């Protein structure tokens, strides 16, 4: 009977011991890569370049790999857009904010007009 209890305990321990970092990939990624053999100098340079480009290291490496692969395969350059940079996202937000401000201003001006002006304009 003691043998059965130890077997059950091992099964419970096996289900609890999922080690490692929890998966935090977006829906557009199919899996996580671990690339071995990357030199420290390369890691440092990629990290600095990603900071300058205002991108995450993953996004920066993804873009660089797609560009290199397309160049090797002879694919056209315009299909290399992988994701937006932080700067591009900020510019898009500012444009949409400006458009919303213009619409709010237009609506507030229309509300201040008299009924006759609204009808005949």
Instruction: Give one DSSP letter per residue of 58-121, joined into a string.
Output: HHHHHHHHHHHHHHHHT--GGGG--S--HHHHHHHHHHHHHHHHHHHHHHHHHHHS-HHHHHH-
* Tens-place pLDDT, residues 36-53: 898 999 999 999 998 998
Q: How far apart are CA 85 and CA 103, in angstroms?
A: 27
Q: What is the pTM of this model?
A: 0.43
Between 18 and 15, the higher pLDDT residue: 18
CA distance 64 to 80: 9
Q: What is the pLDDT of residues 65-97, one digit of tens each?
A: 888 888 888 876 654 456 677 787 888 899 999
pLDDT for res 95: 92
């Amino acid at each position: 009977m003691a043998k059965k209890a130890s077997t059950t305990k091992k099964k419970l321990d096996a289900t609890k011991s999922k080690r490692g970092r929890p998966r935090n990939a977006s829906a557009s990624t199919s899996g996580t890569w671990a690339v071995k053999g990357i030199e420290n100098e390369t890691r440092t340079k990629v990290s600095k370049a990603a900071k300058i480009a205002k991108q995450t290291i993953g996004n920066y490496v993804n873009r660089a790999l797609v560009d290199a692969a397309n160049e090797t395969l002879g694919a056209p350059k315009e299909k290399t857009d992988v994701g937006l940079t932080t700067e591009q996202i900020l510019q898009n937000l500012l444009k949409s904010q400006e458009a919303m401000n213009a619409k709010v201003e237009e609506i507030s001006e229309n509300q201040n007009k008299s009924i006759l002006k609204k009808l005949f304009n």
